[in-house]
């Protein structure tokens, strides 16, 4: 979570830690200046709801740090986690007035938000924003299709390996690291959250993580700090090709 001092430092788009991956990635300096005029930052504590499904949304924005979940509630009260929002992911849909899902901060969360109407106006006048948002939307669609495979056909071990690989590759991409050598990162989800997302029991998640650790597929320090010695091997455990995967 960014503290007040570091959050203030990221007020300038040029210094933003997600600049190269966010919706503004292709913007020129004059376009960034226009975005600066309509943006603001919001922070949420872990467990806090960003927006409820069906609520009116007067903003759109990108996750700067932290992680959030997209959740759908059924008529009988059951809920299903349908997606994760990681740094640089976009929240909200231009042209749609209400939220389609509950968005809840899983960890402490910082979002770079844009007032919705001015942002929609900018999209019409700024092809760079519209093009980047289209690319991100298509990436999200590909990820959703692949996730259907994870939930429907993969074994518990493959599901855990798939989720770890998604987070590892996104973290590497955000920090512009290659996957040629070991990758180290802090797992942003608790095992309870992983179980909820994957449709597994907590005991199964813990058992499979321990098995991956025992087999040397991952190294684990504490409960959250993960090192992947060989990304290709992890992808094989996930049931994917080494150069494939669900989310880039």
Instruction: Give per-residue pLDDT as tens, 177-189.
Output: 766 778 898 888 8
Is 147 a domain residue?
no
Do 71 and 132 fall within a single domain?
A: yes
Domain span including residue 57: 4-138
Whether residue 17 sits in one domain with residue 107: yes
Domain-embedded: residue 148: no
Q: Is there a contact between 88 and 18 (Cβ–Cβ < 8 Å)? A: yes
pTM: 0.78
Has residue 87 been placed in a domain? yes
Whether residues 167 and 130 share a domain: the answer is no
pLDDT of residue 179: 65
Residues 29 and 110 in one domain: yes
Q: What is the mean pLDDT of residues 37-47?
A: 93
What are the φ and ψ backbone dihedral angles of 243, each rounded to 5 degrees? -105, 10
145: in domain: no
| β-sheet bridge partners, residue 43 | 110
**pLDDT tens digits, 154-200:** 899 999 999 999 888 888 887 777 667 788 988 888 898 889 888 89
Domain count, the chain: 2
> Is 248 within a domain?
no
Residue 111 scores a pLDDT above 80: yes
Q: Please report the pLDDT score of residue 164 as a whole number.
A: 92
| pLDDT value, residue 11 | 62
Residues 111, 163 share a domain: no
Question: Token pair 């910082």 is at which residue?
Answer: 110
Write the pLDDT tens digit of every residue in 45-89. Answer: 999 999 999 999 999 999 999 989 888 887 787 777 788 898 999
């Amino acid at each position: 979570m960014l503290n007040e001092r570091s959050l203030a430092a990221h007020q300038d788009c040029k210094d933003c830690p997600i600049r190269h991956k966010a919706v503004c990635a292709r913007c020129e300096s004059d376009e960034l200046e226009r975005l600066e005029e309509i943006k603001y930052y919001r922070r949420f504590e872990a467990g806090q709801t960003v927006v409820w499904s069906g609520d009116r949304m007067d903003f759109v924005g990108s996750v700067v740090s932290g992680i959030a979940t997209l959740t759908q509630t059924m008529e009988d009260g059951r809920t299903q986690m349908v997606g994760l929002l990681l740094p640089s992911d976009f929240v909200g849909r231009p042209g749609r007035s209400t939220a389609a899902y509950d968005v809840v901060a899983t960890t402490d969360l910082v979002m770079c938000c844009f007032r919705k109407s001015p942002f929609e106006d900018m999209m019409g006048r700024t092809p760079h924003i519209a093009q980047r948002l289209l690319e991100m939307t298509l990436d999200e669609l590909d990820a959703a299709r692949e996730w259907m495979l994870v939930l429907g056909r993969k074994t518990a071990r493959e599901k855990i390996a798939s989720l770890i690989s998604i987070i590892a590759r996104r973290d590497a991409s955000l920090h512009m690291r290659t996957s040629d050598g070991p990758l180290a990162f802090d797992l942003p989800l608790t095992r309870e959250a992983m179980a909820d997302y994957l449709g597994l029991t907590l005991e199964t998640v813990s058992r499979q993580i321990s098995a991956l650790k025992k087999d040397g597929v991952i190294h684990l320090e504490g409960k959250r700090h993960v090192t992947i010695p060989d990304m290709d091997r992890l992808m094989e455990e996930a049931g994917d090709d080494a150069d494939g995967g669900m989310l880039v």
